[in-house]
Amino acid sequence: MIDRPVLAIENLTKRYGKKEAVSKINFTVGQSELIGLLGPNGAGKSTTLRMIAGSLAPSSGSINVAGYDIAEQPGKAKSRIGYLPEVPPLYPEMTVKEYLRFACDLKNTAGSASEEAPWVESLIRDLKIENHMSMLIRNLSKGYRQRAAIVAAMAGRPALLLLDEPASGLDPRQIVELRTLLKRVSEHMSVIVSSHGLHEISFFCSRIIIMNKGKIVADGEPDELAAGANLEDVFISLTDIEEA
């Protein structure tokens, strides 16, 4: 029996007037895949993640998450998704503890949020924010705000985790810790990480999708895409930007 994909998108398109920000893209994500979504600015990465997350309506095409069509069953589909946008939706007047409790309450759809306590507590330890739980979010450094937002995105153990530039604001040590965490959580969920960090992504993602001008121009394992060449050179050749 073939496992049902966690995510299946077909002919996904987003138009702004006559411009297609995302143009008829197709791909699936299997169980426990850890995927890097790469591309230059304006390639359509963030737009794609927003459509998958259900925060932006596509112009055409379909998105199926854990067996639920996001257009026909948005509640059930979105309950299977954890999403961290590039600018995290934080509440500066809350303490970290209040914010994470709020996130758990929002995402818990069966039983009490306390059922998620061991999982969230393990994330808090892994991202080393246990000593900042009583601080107001407005008083945190950018790096610690990002850590709190990452924990909130993972609350509820989603089937699919979408992270848009999650390493933003993190120092090199914190980036290594995040990489280790994502490898661990990918045992429990599928993960798509959007990033500009080609080398960083190639270190821990088993699959890379490269976008350029709203289209997928490559999809495969890092070694497969490089094919004996320098992966950076391959990326540059695939994302050549025409002069205006």
Q: How many domains does the chain have?
A: 1
65 is a domain residue: yes
Amino acid at 99: Y
Owning domain of residue 22 = 1-80+192-244
pLDDT exceeds 80 at position 222: yes
Q: Quick check: 11 pLDDT over 90?
A: yes
Residue 1 has pLDDT above 80, yes or no: no
Is residue 40 situated within a structural domain?
yes
pLDDT confidence tier of residue 4, bands split at 50, 70 and 90: confident
Instruction: Write down the H helix ranges in the chain.
Output: 45-53, 74-78, 96-107, 117-126, 142-154, 172-185, 198-204, 222-226, 231-238
pLDDT value, residue 115: 54
State mean pLDDT over 84-89. Answer: 90
240, 201, 84, 106: which is closest to 151 by C-alpha?
84
Residue 243 has pLDDT above 80, yes or no: no
CA distance 136 to 211: 38
Note the pTM of the prediction, 2 decimals: 0.90
Residue 128 lies in a domain: no
- Is pLDDT above 90 for 14? yes
Residue 34 exposed, middle or buried by CB count within 10 Å (0-12, 13-18, 19+)? buried
Q: Phi and psi dihedrals of 168, rounded to 5?
A: -60, 125
Residue 73 clears pLDDT 50, i.e. is over it? yes
pLDDT of 16 strictly over 90: yes
Task: Please indicate, yes or no, if residue 49 is contained in any of the structural domains.
Answer: yes
Q: What is the mean pLDDT of residues 118-123?
A: 88
Residue 74 in domain: yes
CATH of the domain at 75: 3.40.50.300
The answer as to whether 105 is a domain residue is: no
Q: What is the mean pLDDT of the chain?
A: 88
Query: Tens digits of per-residue pLDDT, 164-190?
Result: 998 887 888 888 888 888 888 898 899
Strand pairing category for 60-65 and 68-69: antiparallel
